[in-house]
Amino acid sequence: MDKGFAYFLLGLAFLLQTAMHSQQKHPILKTLDSLIAADAFGHAQEIIQAEVSGKTKYSSLNLGRLVYPLAKSEFLQDNGTHFPMAQELLKDVQSKNQADSVQYEALLGLGLAHVDQGSVLQANVYMARANTLANTLQDVQRKVASEFYLGEIGLKLGDIDQLMARTDKALRLMEAHPKTRFPLAPRILNYKASLMHFISKPDSADYYFDKAIRSIDTMDKDAEQLYYLPGTIYGNWTMVKQSAGDYGTAMELTSKSISSFNTFLQHTHNHPLTEKVHGNLSIAYRNLGSLYNDFGDKDKAVQVASLGYKHAKRYFLPNTVQYFSAVLMMAEAHLYAENQQKARTYLKEAEASLISIPGTNWSYAANLYFAWADLEKKEENFSKAITNYQKTLEAYTNSSADEFSQNIIFARSNLAQVYAENQQFKEALDLIDNTYSKVAEAYGAHSYLAKMMQLSKIKIYFLKSDFESAIQLCRQLLEGYGGTADVENRPYLWSEQAEILMYLAKSKLRSLPHSPKNLIEIAQIIDKATALVEKRKSLVTSQEGVSNLIANNREVFNVAKKVYVELYRQTNDEAYLEKVMALHESSIYNRIRARLNLTADALAPIDIREQENSLRNQINGFFDLEGNETQFNVAEWDSLNRSWQDHLGFLQKEHPHYYKMRYASIVEPLKNLEQHIPTNTTLVRYFSDGDNNYVYVYQNGRTNLIKLDPIKDLCISSISDYSVPEDELFDCLHQLYQIVWEPIEGLVKTENVIIFPDGELFNLSFELLTPKRIGSYGELATQSLLAKYNISYNYSLFMLGKKQGIVGFKKDFIAFAPEFDQEMKTNYQMAISDSLFLDKAYLTLLPQPFSTELVKKFSRKFDGRSFLNEKASKPLFTQNAKEHKIIHIGTHAESNNVSPELSRLVFAKNVADSLDINDNSLYTYEIYNQNLSSHLAILTACETGKPTYQPGEGMISLAHAFNYAGSESVLTSLWQIDEKSSNKILERFYGHLSEGKPKHVALRLAKLDYLAHGEGRILHPQYWAGLVLMGDTSPVEFSRPGFWSLWVVAALIVLIVVMVFLKKKSSHKGS
């Protein structure tokens, strides 16, 4: 990942709003605060009206101070109010020629009410008028207060110059009266500290933040002093530590900030600061999420962003800065988690929010342009990226000409990168050199940000093919880390070091002769990089997080594969080839191993595993708060993370085998492979190192590595497209053979083949490939790989020999087949009382009569159970499917390529349950958490095996999920297939399976039977070739005919014979 992305995500929330309406001490104001806190708004308004009319006159009360509580009560009743009662009170105060001090308080109060509402332009007008009156009054407290509030309004308007000027003026007023205590001092010092960070003066920022904390009145036990002010200052201080690379302190400060705000909200209700705290809490969430983003835990970054977004939607209108910031946070989190489509959706929402916010808002516009630029850069739309980065920098300049914040630093860095990607190397180097000079002057040549600029320059050198300069700068940077114990304990540096090491290895690989000596030296460099990725794994609590960590460092692993492939080619040393395969398989298997349905107590006792699952679920679901809840307990979160680390330490010591299976090294050696390979079987593994494609062949202890021609823009999609002309399809099948099979045909000498696809090859049914161009579909029976091999598929070499832990199922067969006939749809429509909840898509599902007939037939043959039509519901499936030798599911499915976890199987509507009538979809994420133990799962639904590409793994689909849930093998479809044809093949498949044939043999014979008896258009591959077997190929051992039932039948026959005999004998005696 480009580090600029992560630090832009952090740096964007550079200030927390800190506006404050001073706590009033007058008795009537305290009474009003209590009434508003108790939601007694009408009573509060009555008291104010009585006071204004003179019925309960307090001689010491400034009537102008009643404007804010009156406006507050109106706002809490209607957050879109125009404050009619407060406006009327202000007019009354002005019309009666009240003293300037009264008018000042009235204007200040109405200004603050508009700040709470988010109506910042109106607030600015009232506050400027209040400031003018304060200057005529010669009251230093009121002068300082009005300057402070005008500064805050400048921030909300995105006018940093206004913020800076007003804050400096307030400080000068305070410094001119050193013996006066200013209640607003902590807030003003907090802004000054933030501004010092903003203009790249970190030492001054630390000084003013420390001074701000010490200026808090700790003797005052008010919630403002105890919780609000510390939370705000700690939250802002976080950004300074982030820029300095001190992530341990940054995390500590963020936790303190969130904890302070939560405690404030727990101890107050309708407090004048409540809106400010909610806004600050939302931004504190983005700081926390960005920290997880940088640590590589993308899942938690998105979770925390979602929590902040939910919080903002609950407490703020779309036309507020707080709402905009939360939506932008969601866009950033998804952008850096590689969910570009979701990022684009949230960016559009953020854009709409920003347009609705009054004012020019240049600093916020800059933040939005920055995110758009990053998105375009990721999608390689370089001209659009350049335009947006330039707009970003222009907007920052319009906001404040003096600004040189972390945001600007990374915007300049990213713009230089895009210039280089666009072959504009002079512009790139000029810009990065200029940026580095400014950073070194402001932060120091050895600062974290300076190193980031140097890393950016390394990337530019590499793109320019100036490898010598890249190597020299890499070495210079690595020497700066020094390998000290301090570096060892600073995880955020590991990612930077890994990236520098990777570019050092890449530059040497591109510039040096590929002699064994040079390659070994490069291998040692890249091994250090993978070791640093390994170390970062300890910071991630979920296996999905580990997979994302690998995905974000995929280039490190690809470079490592390149180096070891070249070493193998130069030396023919099998150890190097094993290393290549270990690197590739480990990146896939890490996602798989955490989901294996481990049941053997030999690895870990069940109570330990239950405890682990409970702890993991608590951590991974911690931020998924229920209902409208948007706050979490920081102490509880810290405790959970400590418990997780303690648990891992316990497992490593007490249950090492289990620890190794679940949590051991990212790069596992590929040992004892031959022990897990069925006899007479060849393994064929396709993989890529990012640039080149290879195929690894293993058979009888012999290994080979073959480099392939580019596997890109192949005609794979044509195979399942009936509209493609025959001649074009026949050409395609032969061309594919030449690219992916011909290079290894002499190495595959066994009848059984297990293929491990990669990338788009997951869409290919290999059995269709033809050594010669065929002239008719019928020739596929004799002139294709189908005629020669029994082919099955798998995801990873590490999965070979991995049984799900349960064998010897007593029950042979269970099937689920909702036919989706008209009667089912009519019953559903009648059961829906409100048409708003009618699932119209369900009513359009095609009927599946052939699936129903097949299920009926083989339920009888295998003495199994079948759930048909309405009985084929989701609840009955989850209750009954597990622990059968075969689970057959004949239904519709939907593959979701954008969100794979939302791919689903469609079951019958549960018309008997009015509450859950529409809960008929079984999603991928639900399947992973179920027990679907079986020898074979049959998924013949549309597109159930269609791959969706995910980081760290070639594919994820419903078929994959069934494998995780306990099905040793899965028969599924790679594309939408014809129901009638697929059921003909399944009928023959079951026949061969019942004869004791291995699963892959039974499937091959069934397809050959289909081709032998079919004719016309149904011979097109779209009708039949999509069915594939994934996983274990061994035969299914069906139960022998029940001897108990035979004895019963025999006994009944004997009993009948005896009874007939006795009856005849009795009859004979009677006669």
Confidence bin at 1062 (pLDDT 50/70/90): low
pLDDT band at 15 (very low <50, low <70, confident <90, very high): very low
CA dihedral 193→291→493→210, nearest 10 degrees, is: 20
Which pLDDT value is given to residue 612?
A: 79
In angstroms, what CA-CA distances link 924 with 592, 646, 841, 956, 964? 14, 31, 19, 9, 11
List b or e across 219-244, with b for residues whose CB sees 16 or more CB atoms inside 10 angstroms.
Answer: eeeebbbbbbbbbbbbbbbbbbbbbb
807 or 902, higher pLDDT: 902
Sorting pLDDT into bands at 50, 70 and 90, what band is 5?
very low
Collapsing DSSP states into helix, strand and coil, what is residue 267? Answer: helix
Between residues 586 and 336, which one has the greater pLDDT? Answer: 336
pTM of the predicted model, to two decimals?
0.64
Q: Look at 822 and 941; give whichever has higher pLDDT.
A: 822
Please, which pLDDT band fits residue 1049 given cuts at 50, 70 and 90?
low
Q: What is the pLDDT of residue 23?
A: 41
**Rounded to an integer, what distance in angstroms lies between the CA atom of residue 391 and that of residue 606?**
58
- From the CA atom positions of the chain, what is the Rg in Å? 35
Comparing 433 with 893, the larger pLDDT belongs to: 433
Q: What is the pLDDT of residues 1011-1035, one digit of tens each?
A: 999 888 899 999 999 899 988 999 9
Task: Name the 3-class secondary structure at 1058.
Answer: helix
Handedness of CA 192, 197, 203, 209 (dihedral sign): positive
Q: What is the pLDDT of residue 772?
A: 96
- The least confident of 26-40, 666-680, 697-711 is 666-680
329-345 burial: b if 16+ Cβ within 10 Å, else e:
bbbbbbbbbbbeebbee
Q: Are 478 and 500 in contact (CB under 8 A)?
A: yes
Residue 9: per-residue pLDDT: 27
- State the SS3 of 899-963: CHHHCEEECECCCCCCCCCCCCEEEHHHHCCCCCCEEEEEECCCCCCCCCCECCECCCCHHHHHH
Output the pLDDT for position 58.
59
Total number of residues shown for the chain: 1071
**Average pLDDT in the 877-903 region?**
78
- Cβ-Cβ contacts under 8 Å for 13 (sequence gap 6 or more): 239, 283, 286, 287, 290, 325, 329
Q: Per-residue pLDDT for 384 more than 90?
A: yes
> Which residues, including other chains, have CB under 8 Å from residue 444's CB and lie 6 or more apart?
450
- 3-state DSSP of 223-249: HHHHHHHHHHHHHHHHHHHHHCCCHHH
Residue 865, token pair as written in the block: 């159970």
pLDDT tens digit sequence for 927-947:
877 888 899 999 876 544 444
Lowest pLDDT segment from 35-44, 61-70, 529-538: 529-538
Q: Match 């512009």 to its residue by tokens.
A: 427
Q: What pLDDT is stored for residue 39 in this prediction?
A: 87
Residue 989 scores a pLDDT above 60:
yes
Query: pLDDT tens digits for 255-293?
Result: 899 989 989 988 888 887 888 888 888 888 878 888 887
Q: What is the mean pLDDT of residues 821-838?
A: 78
Poorest-pLDDT segment among 240-249, 327-336, 514-523, 552-561: 240-249
Q: What is the DSSP string of 376-442?
A: HHHTT-HHHHHHHHHHHHHHHHHH-TT---HHHHHHHHHHHHHHHHTT-HHHHHHHHHHHHHHHHHH
Q: How confident is the model at residue 517 (pLDDT cuts 50, 70, 90)?
A: very high
pLDDT of 722 strictly over 70:
yes
Q: Out of 30-34, 722-726, 878-882, 953-957, pick the least confident.
A: 953-957
What whole-number percentage of the chain has pLDDT above 70? 82
More confident residue, 243 or 516: 516
Per-residue pLDDT at 280: 85
pLDDT at 177: 92
Locus of tokens 């290549």: 580
Integer angstrom CA distances of residue 814 from 63, 433, 864, 884, 1006? 80, 68, 5, 7, 21
End-to-end, the C-alpha distance of the chain in Å comes to: 103
Provide the pLDDT for residue 1042: 43
Predicted confidence (pLDDT) at residue 447 exceeds the cutoff of 90: no
Per-residue pLDDT tens digits for 109-119: 999 999 888 78
> φ and ψ at 793, to 5 degrees?
-130, 160
Share of the chain above pLDDT 90, in %: 34
Give the mean model confidence (pLDDT) for residues 237-246: 79
**Of 405-409, 908-912, 925-929, minimum mean pLDDT range:** 925-929
Q: Is 1017 exposed, middle or buried (0-12, 13-18, 19+ CB in 10 A)?
A: exposed
User: What pLDDT is attached to residue 555?
Assistant: 86
Residue bearing the bigger pLDDT, 644 or 776:
776
Minimal CA–CA distance to 150: which of 176, 181, 173, 177?
Answer: 173
**Got the DSSP string for 1000-1052?**
HHHHHHHHHHHHHH--GGGGSHHHHTTEEEEE--PPP-PPPP-HHHHHHHHHH
| Segment among 330-339, 367-376, 793-802, 903-912 with least mean pLDDT | 793-802
- pLDDT at site 694: 95
Confidence of residue 166 (pLDDT cuts 50, 70, 90): very high
pLDDT band at 547 (very low <50, low <70, confident <90, very high): low
